[in-house]
Amino acid sequence: MSVQAPEKAKAPMVAQPSGKFSAWVVKLIILGVIDVLGIWAIAQSLAAEWWLAVVFFAVVLVLVNVTYFRRGGLPFKYLLPGLIFLVAFQLYPAGYTFGASFTNYGTGHVLPQERVVGAIIAQSSRPVEGSPSYNVVPVEKGGDVFMLITDPDDPTKALLGSSEELVPAENAEFSGGKAVGLEGYTTLNLGSLAGNPDLDQAWQELTVPFEPEDGIYLKPQSPTRASEARSTVVYDADADTFTNSETGQVFSPNGDVGLYTTEAFDNDAGEARANQGEFLTPGWPVFVGVDNYTRILTDPGVRANFIPILLWSFAFAIGTVLMQFVFGLLIAIVMQDKRMKGQKVYRLILILPYALPIFMTALVWKGMLNTDFGIINQIIGSPVPWLTDGTLAKLSLLVVNLWIGYSYMLLVVTGALTAVPGDLKEAAFVDGASAFRAFRTVVLPLLMVSVSPLLIASFAFNFNNFTLVELLTGGGPFPGSPIEGGQTDLLITYTYRLAFGTSQQLLGFASAISMVIFIIVAGISAYGFRLTKKLEEIKA
């Protein structure tokens, strides 16, 4: 017996280090994969000269390795992944939107200024009649696209062109009597251009100065051919100006509006004078201060659209929350009555709307509310314009949202009611209170302590309920153009239309409205949580 006891105690001591070693190897492999991906991301960011991403990935790599290789710090090991995703997918987009709200970023002001020069020349270029076709190859280095040109005078030599200059290409590779590659550069073909829209756009916009004194440039026709084109404007790189070769007008960079303009250009009336040839497009994003924010309230056209949409956004969110809560509460109280038979079946049926995807539910309701073919109009025998009349469309949105969301409130309230102590209600009855008064003075305050944070979250969600509005009414009906807003538009759908819904994309202005939405929702949520704390104090 004395010999066997040490053997029994020795067995787990051998297995424990083996388990720790296996876990350490798994951790090492996972961290190795993360490090490889992180280094690759840093290299890609360096190639694109995206310095903020370089700093972010470098900091993440250091934090990950330090956190998971050292002993202790267990809480932070669980928090770190969430913090990384919070910064990458919440704080950065919010910060980017905040920064864009102080610019004129949008259609005609998307490209950086260094790329605007080539775009202006490309737009103002016209083919030169009788010009020869040149053998070219697109090559890329550091995210920039260049034109490798076989010298038309000497096929054994090559030229390398960018939007700024044309220089001899040393160490070029030749095949079949034409240049096909260049040392240090990546040769692009039709497939690689098609697979990368940014490179393809850069190649299409590339204009190489061939005889700049005469305004002649080489412009690509395909990935293998280029032709001469003459621009109506000549760019002077030293002075950073354009000169119209026909009228002699000189266009200088205007940092206030992000355009090349003449001296007589009026910044305040620039849009109205677009047809007078006093500025060149496209432009580049510039800082405009708080102009986008002041425009919301000072521009009569914008104010006429913004204020009604803002009021309807509040009415929709508040009305939806109240209707869903009251309806869910009534059903939950009924379901709590022990005299009701088949409660499990009823609850399963009542929860079905919440279990169905919202996009499917919204489209089904859209078909049911169709004026001509909807089943609702067929039942009542009248062509009611549920989705084409402004008032009825708003009512339809509220009803459909009640159908979609009451099940959630039913689940929440049912759980909260079960947590209310039964002896408190019995004490109220003993004191002579009626059922309604006992509910109002005892049950409802305790219920609100649990439900209030969820009501606030529901308000924030419905204030930005883009999916339902877009699928059911599309923001309409529209009394004017879609850019002016529809009668069922929420701020979020109106903002989306400003940013992406029309040919004129006002991204900077849409970003300003997005920040207004954030301030409204954050302010109301903060106030709501203060009220919730007061309710908790009452409970205590």
Please provide the average confidence, as pLDDT, over all residues in the chain.
Answer: 86
Domain that holds residue 208: 113-231
Confirm if 94 and 501 have CB atoms less than 8 A apart: no
Same domain, residue pair 139 and 173 = yes
CATH of the domain at 527: 1.10.3720.10
Out of 192, 215, 231, a domain closes at 231
Higher pLDDT, 352 or 287: 287
Give the separation between CA 400 and CA 413, rounded to whole angstroms: 20
Q: For residue range 304-333, what is the model confidence (pLDDT) as tens digits?
A: 889 999 999 999 999 999 999 999 999 998
Same domain, residue pair 52 and 120 = no
Q: How confident is the model at residue 511 (pLDDT cuts 50, 70, 90)?
A: very high
Same domain, residue pair 193 and 46 = no
| Neighbouring C-beta atoms of residue 111, cutoff 10 Å | 18
Q: For residue range 269-289, what is the model confidence (pLDDT) as tens digits?
A: 544 444 345 889 889 999 999
Same domain, residue pair 504 and 438 = yes
Does 108 map to a domain?
A: no
- The per-residue pLDDT for 268 is 66
Does 403 map to a domain?
A: yes
Range 130-159 average pLDDT? 88
Does 27 map to a domain?
A: yes
Does 5 map to a domain?
A: no
Out of 74, 100, 126, a domain closes at 100
Collapsing DSSP states into helix, strand and coil, what is residue 167?
A: strand
* Parallel/antiparallel/unpaired status of strands 216-220 and 225-231: antiparallel
Q: For residue range 369-418, what is the model confidence (pLDDT) as tens digits?
A: 999 999 999 999 999 999 999 999 999 999 999 999 999 999 999 888 88
How many independent structural domains does the chain possess?
3
Same domain, residue pair 307 and 440 = yes
208: left (phi over 0), alpha (psi -120 to 50) or beta: beta
Same domain, residue pair 94 and 119 = no
Q: Is the pLDDT of residue 7 over 70?
A: no
Sign, CA dihedral 34-39-42-48, equals negative
Same domain, residue pair 126 and 58 = no
Collapsing DSSP states into helix, strand and coil, what is residue 502?
A: coil
Range 106-122 average pLDDT? 86
Q: For residue range 63-91, what is the model confidence (pLDDT) as tens digits?
A: 999 999 888 888 899 999 999 999 999 99
Angle between helices 507-539 and 92-100 (to 10 degrees): 130
Q: What is the pTM of this model?
A: 0.80
Same domain, residue pair 156 and 84 = no
Same domain, residue pair 42 and 94 = yes
Confirm if 226 and 220 have CB atoms less than 8 A apart: yes
Give the separation between CA 256 and CA 146, rounded to whole angstroms: 31
Give the separation between CA 490 and CA 513, rounded to whole angstroms: 12
Same domain, residue pair 138 and 36 = no
Q: For residue range 483-495, what is the model confidence (pLDDT) as tens digits?
A: 788 999 999 999 9
Give the separation between CA 147 and CA 140, rounded to whole angstroms: 9
Same domain, residue pair 184 and 215 = yes
Out of 100, 121, 140, a domain closes at 100
Does 353 map to a domain?
A: yes
Does 107 map to a domain?
A: no
Q: For residue range 29-71, what is the model confidence (pLDDT) as tens digits?
A: 999 999 999 999 999 899 878 899 999 999 999 999 999 988 8
- The per-residue pLDDT for 435 is 75
Give the separation between CA 13 and CA 76, rounded to whole angstroms: 30
Same domain, residue pair 472 and 353 = yes
* Parallel/antiparallel/unpaired status of strands 125-127 and 279-280: unpaired
